[in-house]
Structure 1
Amino acid sequence: MTKNGRQTAVEAVYRVNEEGAYSNLILNHLFKKYNLADQDRGLATELIYGSLRMRNHLDWILNQFADRRVNKMDKWTRNILRLGLYQIRFLDSIPDAVACNETVELAKDYQHSGAAGFVNGILRSILRSLDEIEFPQLKSNPVQHIRYKYSFPQWMVETWVKRYGVELTVDICSAFNQIPSKIIRQNRLKVTAEELQADLASVGIETEAISEIPQAFRVTNSSSLFQSNSFTAGYFQIQGLASIIAGHIMNPQPKDIVLDLCSAPGGKTTHLAELMANQGEIVANDLHEDKLELIERNCNRLGIRIVRTRAGDGRSLKFEKKFDRILVDAPCSGLGMIAKKPEIKWQKKPQDIDSLAELQLELLNNAGRFLKPKGELVYSTCTITHQENLEVINKFLAQNSDFELVDLSSWADKLGISSEFILEGSIQLLPTWQTNEGFFIAKLKKRV
């Protein structure tokens, strides 16, 4: 079956917006299903992530021109309109007339002639008044301005304005709306930094070493990254920059006995093994047994031999041994990953935060039981909510007097992280940092 980029995009955004699918998974599925050419893949990717990212912005405009509100429209029609308006509003490379005509054709493909006429009428009206579109004013109504201009749910904007203020919230939202860089981690077990860069350069993949953060490289043209011999040979692993930092801060040593309590898909697990020079033992646990195969595949590709996988609920797991170091990379709301997965904006709800914070504290409390005296535990999340981060740490410390917080200021300085991202001795990265991601890292030490 053959589909073009726009048809693929509308099917993907429908699945994400209306059925709760994950953008990266549905995109990969549809690319394989329809065997898209590279040009169509590029267009589909831009339309999917762009329209998801700017959904509130697009709906604000559509609601000013349609005779029924977006949330009352037919589900296919509203997603088709979002794709068309995104092209008109944000893609200068596509002429407005082409964007309009192609969107009308989409409506014919997936709806009927009446829907096509409805779509055509709205987009033509918007084109006639494009320069006159206004949003709520930042000065008089900052929450609604940020909500619609930068396209975020109201509860999220209200939370951030209360915690960070209006100006920083605008900066946070702007950063989350940027397309993030692709980061890879060099596998020291197999290749030097120079050899990795030369090998990738030989197939036209450009890399830039990230200053002060060992093993981390920014990739500027990554379309063929997974097809490269370097990937197959295990010379690198795709991993977020903040996640790489968490591994360095954990600082495991050769021959350590390490527990990674919530390990899938294994990026941090394999990094710890590399830092340990493939000596010692890592127990990689995850709640979902079906995810362990991915960890094992990554270990095999990267040449890692010291990882032992197991499945279990990290809140109630029991071990016969104690560990030198433990990583609790806890399940979280994922708000720090909005730049990579913009659907998080629309799929997460305020009530999710409290239930996740309870889960995170349970994981920490159980993990702490199996840490050796003088051992160290790193707690990390890919979110920026206070409830899931510092509040969890403070509750844990209040309940576990045999633990103390390790001040990460010196680590932050060593890794090029400025003091503005130090929060009571822990690291709270915001997307205003260099890779558009939010991330929290705390380190605890057991006294006795």
Structure 2
Amino acid sequence: MELFYKINFHELIADILSLIEERELSSKNALERTFKRVRGKDRERARGLAHAYIFEIEKWKRKIDFIGNSVLKGIKIEELDPYLANLLRIGIFEMKFKGVVPAIATDSIVRAVKDKYDLSRAKFINAVLRDVESFDVGKALEALRERDKIEYLSIKFSHPRWYVEYVIDLLGYEEGLRLLLSNNKPQRYYIRVNPLKTDIDSLSDYLEEHGVRVTRTPVDDILKVLEYKTPITHLEGYKEGYFVIQDLASAYVAHVLSPEKGERVLDLAAAPGSKTFHVAQLMENTGEIIAVDYSLERLRKMETKMKILGVKNVKLVHADGMKFKDMRKFDKIILDAPCSSSGTYRQFPEVKWRFNKEKIKKVIQVQKAMIRNAYKNLRDEGEMTYSTCSIRIDENEENVKYALEKVGFDLVTYPFSWGERGFTEIGEMVFRSFTHLHDCNSFFIAKLKR
């Protein structure tokens, strides 16, 4: 593979994995940043292969580390130099998950370690990978199942232990297991039509003509992608803004909000902008939408996307959604709150490793602060959607109860046309989707009124 880059392919992958881990970037963002430095005729092929490697390594990281830690002596893979640990993970992945001949997998990683570090560490990694080659994963997992069933499930399906405990407690053993399995299936793509440029039938015909087989969904302006020949983002229709890629449940939020033409709408956590632009399109570019986000970089990307989509009624504001205050009140508010992202593991496997109990407690405090601020910005009788891509009750139903009991909101009875209902005493009045039931992100939506 001909690439103009100062390092080889395995070091390139280790670079991206390190960016994801150390800077908490998304895999897509880390891939984009790294490939800005890559040139050569095989660049696009390398990018596709790198994406596949990153996605699968992040998905199976818990199991990969279990294998590495089972053969390491006196140290754990998490205690190694982060870059060295990632090179080792790549070797384990190639050997045990990708089916690369062990000698070839070992040799390529050892050479990368020798180039990056020194001969002694190259010998160390060589010895570790030789032990990995003979390690019986199935036998080790069976032994673990006898000792600790939750830990066994956590490693077998490569999910954080807290998540396994939580979903089994929430859904029961069988349903929880189905969710774990579903999270590890290939990503499902959904396409939302841009009504400012085309209609759903014309878009469906266009996609079919270009080798993208689609079907209708419970959400009127969303198509489910069944198969495709060319990557969807390479199509001219995507580049020209005739459609966007947006998860099915995420796209339901704008419909639940039910914005009307001419209204004044606030989005308190707007980036990357899918819900903001969806509301703008439903309002037919009338009224005014104030889109607030704390990330200037993400707002700049939104500005570029707005022009492509033909959205003209959105004003971007760089501010903190917990504190933003406008002189005038709003008719509607979207609060798609920052969360543990525990409903997006199939789409973004790297987020599995970002949250623990302490971080979740902190993000819940942010969610509550944003709920309080939303109330201050909403006019009397104004309405708000509260949504997260989390499975957790404490980020969802409990926060809605907080909004009702401590802030002053009322819960709106909305006729949800699909999905499941929620938990606790307000469960029948809120929306939930689950990856194993609805083939999309696990998601939560509630509609509130001041």
CA distance in 1, matches of 2:395, 2:443: 11
Give the aligned partner of residue 437 of structure 1: 441
1:12 aligned onto 2:8: no
Which secondary structure state, in structure 2, belongs to the residue aligned with residue 158 of structure 1?
helix
Q: What is the letter of the counterpart of residue 123 of structure 1?
A: L
Give the aligned partner of residue 77 of structure 1: 84
Give the aligned partner of residue 381 of structure 2: 374
Give the aligned partner of residue 263 of structure 2: 256
1:4, distance to aligned residue in structure 2 (A): 4.8
| 8 Å CA contact retained: 1:5, 1:43 | no
The superposition leaves residues 244-289 of structure 1 with CA deviations (integer Å, 9 ceiling, x where unpaired) of 0111111212222222122122110110011112222222222334
- 2:70 corresponds, among 60, 64, 75, to 64
Give the aligned partner of residue 419 of structure 2: 417
* Cα distance, 1:50–1:387 mapped onto 2, change above 3 Å: same
- 1:324 corresponds, among 319, 323, 331, to 331
* Cα distance, 1:318–1:75 mapped onto 2, change above 3 Å: closer
1:133, distance to aligned residue in structure 2 (A): 3.4
Gaps of 5+ in 1: none
Give the aligned partner of residue 211 of structure 1: 217
CA distance in 1, matches of 2:275, 2:213: 21
CA distance in 1, matches of 2:346, 2:229: 17
Give the aligned partner of residue 359 of structure 1: 366
* Cα distance, 1:161–1:374 mapped onto 2, change above 3 Å: same
CA distance in 1, matches of 2:58, 2:241: 33
1:146 aligned onto 2:153: yes
Which secondary structure state, in structure 1, belongs to the residue aligned with residue 349 of structure 2?
coil
CA distance in 1, matches of 2:231, 2:262: 36
* Cα distance, 1:129–1:154 mapped onto 2, change above 3 Å: closer
1:224, distance to aligned residue in structure 2 (A): 4.2
Give the aligned partner of residue 118 of structure 1: 124
1:186 aligned onto 2:185: no
- Structure 2-normalised TM-score? 0.88
Greater CA deviation, 108-117 or 261-270?
108-117
Mapping of residues 3-402 of structure 1, within 5 Å: 3-18=7-22, 20-35=24-39, 37-68=43-74, 69-92=76-99, 94-130=100-136, 133-135=139-141, 137-138=144-145, 141-202=148-209, 204-219=210-225, 220-221=227-228, 224-401=231-408
* Cα distance, 1:53–1:290 mapped onto 2, change above 3 Å: closer
* Cα distance, 1:442–1:305 mapped onto 2, change above 3 Å: same
CA distance in 1, matches of 2:411, 2:320: 25
Gaps of 5+ in 2: none
The superposition leaves residues 348-367 of structure 1 with CA deviations (integer Å, 9 ceiling, x where unpaired) of 22112222222212212222
Q: What is the letter of the counterpart of residue 304 of structure 1?
A: V
| 8 Å CA contact retained: 1:178, 1:436 | no
1:70, distance to aligned residue in structure 2 (A): 1.9
The superposition leaves residues 330-355 of structure 1 with CA deviations (integer Å, 9 ceiling, x where unpaired) of 12222222223222222222112222
Runs of 4+ in structure 1 displaced over 6 angstroms?
Answer: none
CA distance in 1, matches of 2:332, 2:253: 13
* Cα distance, 1:210–1:96 mapped onto 2, change above 3 Å: farther
The superposition leaves residues 171-202 of structure 1 with CA deviations (integer Å, 9 ceiling, x where unpaired) of 33222223312322110111122332343455
| 8 Å CA contact retained: 2:421, 2:428 | no
- Tell me the C-alpha RMSD between the 2 structures: 2.6
| 8 Å CA contact retained: 2:286, 2:313 | yes
CA distance in 2, matches of 1:70, 1:315: 38
1:388, distance to aligned residue in structure 2 (A): 1.4
The superposition leaves residues 358-388 of structure 1 with CA deviations (integer Å, 9 ceiling, x where unpaired) of 2212212222233333332100112122211
| 8 Å CA contact retained: 1:205, 1:225 | no
Greater CA deviation, 259-268 or 121-130?
121-130
| 8 Å CA contact retained: 2:249, 2:440 | no
1:444, distance to aligned residue in structure 2 (A): 1.0
- 1:407 corresponds, among 410, 413, 421, to 413
- Structure 1-normalised TM-score? 0.88
CA distance in 1, matches of 2:137, 2:232: 41
* Residue-pair matches, total: 439
The superposition leaves residues 14-52 of structure 1 with CA deviations (integer Å, 9 ceiling, x where unpaired) of 333355443221111122212353332232222212112
CA distance in 1, matches of 2:149, 2:440: 22
| 8 Å CA contact retained: 1:270, 1:298 | no
* Cα distance, 1:41–1:295 mapped onto 2, change above 3 Å: closer
CA distance in 1, matches of 2:367, 2:138: 48
1:145, distance to aligned residue in structure 2 (A): 1.0
CA distance in 2, matches of 1:419, 1:442: 10
1:313, distance to aligned residue in structure 2 (A): 2.7
* Cα distance, 1:197–1:110 mapped onto 2, change above 3 Å: farther
CA distance in 2, matches of 1:290, 1:223: 29
CA distance in 2, matches of 1:43, 1:4: 13
CA distance in 2, matches of 1:222, 1:368: 47
* Cα distance, 1:127–1:351 mapped onto 2, change above 3 Å: same
* Cα distance, 1:194–1:99 mapped onto 2, change above 3 Å: farther
